[in-house]
Amino acid sequence: MKTFRTMLFMPGNNPGMLASAGNLGADSVILDLEDAVAPGEKDAARILVRRTLTDLRPENVTCVVRINGLDTPYWRDDLAAAVTGGTDVILLPKCEHPDMLREIADFIGTSSRNGGAIKIMALVESALGIENASAIASFGGPLIGMLLGAEDLTAGMGAKRTPEGDEIAYARGRMLMACKAAGIAAVDTPFPFVTDMEGLAKDAAYAAQLGFSGKALISPHHVHAVKTAFMPTAEQIAWASRVIETAEAAERDGKGAVSLDGMMIDLPIIKRAKSVLQMAE
């Protein structure tokens, strides 16, 4: 499974876009059965998403299916289509409590022989979900990450969504810390101002600086800018490589502590260097 640096939403009822899923440069594609699909088109979209997973599956791209919420009559049929199609990840919207993850995990485990391989990501997009972020992140098992949904969150808060994102600073910080503590991926919310490419670059760079694992996207035109923001620079990669080489040499020589360019190389520095190299892959 690839990283979640770039997770591109794609309408589950758009065959043209789904057919191009492997050619847009995103690490992951989110085949959407929720907001992008009108109630009258749900059945057709499930068939199309399942066929995309089985017959048109993009190579070297992680496939994620966003099902409808547990408060709708659609989610079981959505799950059945995604599981039989062999999705990599189920994205659960409006996740507010770990019990909601348990319901999905139980369904996956009993509906398919391949259920054990399918992972879950929680889409947190309400004040209650943010306040329960630690409990959700600690679910364990198939949960591999959380994604912040700022549009529903700010609508519920009565807050105005801005390119600067001050209104979601608390939500970003709380979800990010919960994910880091649990050791799962933290994916930042999409940037909703589609044509503001300068704002997108700043927003993505800020998310990367905070420590997010990646960012969700609502436009294929955002892939390059977000991928660039989350990609380490050549200078950072060179530094990380030197750190690892120095640490490995010290271990071979039986040295307990070494320094590089005047900086002590300890475990946190080694972890940061490994993270940089992982992001560069």
Condensed to tens digits (0 to 9), the pLDDT of residues 148-168 reads 999 999 999 999 999 999 999
Distances, alpha carbon 262 to alpha carbons 248, 255, 258, 259, in Å = 18, 16, 10, 6
Answer yes or no: is pLDDT of 116 > 80.
no
Quickly state the pLDDT bin for 236 (edges 50, 70, 90).
confident
Q: Which residue has the tokens 């794609």?
A: 10
Higher pLDDT, 271 or 135: 135
Give one DSSP letter per residue of 102-136, joined into a string.
HHHHHHHHHH-TTGGG-EEEEEE-SHHHHHTHHHH
The pTM of this model reads 0.87
Quickly state the pLDDT bin for 232 (edges 50, 70, 90).
confident
Residue 222 is classified by DSSP as G
Q: What is the pLDDT of residue 278?
A: 81
The average confidence (pLDDT) of the chain is 92
Both tokens of 192, joined, read: 């909703």
Quickly state the pLDDT bin for 2 (edges 50, 70, 90).
low
Alpha-carbon dihedral angle through residues 232, 130, 145, 39, given to the nearest 10 degrees: -110
Answer yes or no: is pLDDT of 56 > 80.
yes
Quickly state the pLDDT bin for 221 (edges 50, 70, 90).
very high
Question: What integer is the mean pLDDT of 83-107?
Answer: 95
Q: What is the pLDDT of residue 110?
A: 65
Provide the percentage of residues in the chain whose pLDDT is more than 70.
96
Quickly state the pLDDT bin for 117 (edges 50, 70, 90).
confident
Higher pLDDT, 248 or 132: 132
Higher pLDDT, 141 or 176: 176
Q: Is the dihedral of CA 182, 215, 162, 69 positive or negative?
A: negative
Answer yes or no: is pLDDT of 225 > 90.
yes
- Quote the crossing angle between the two packed helices 267-280 and 234-252, to the nearest 10°: 130
Angle formed at CA 159 by CA 155 and CA 164, multiple of 5 degrees: 110
CA–CA dist 260, 242 (Å, integer): 8
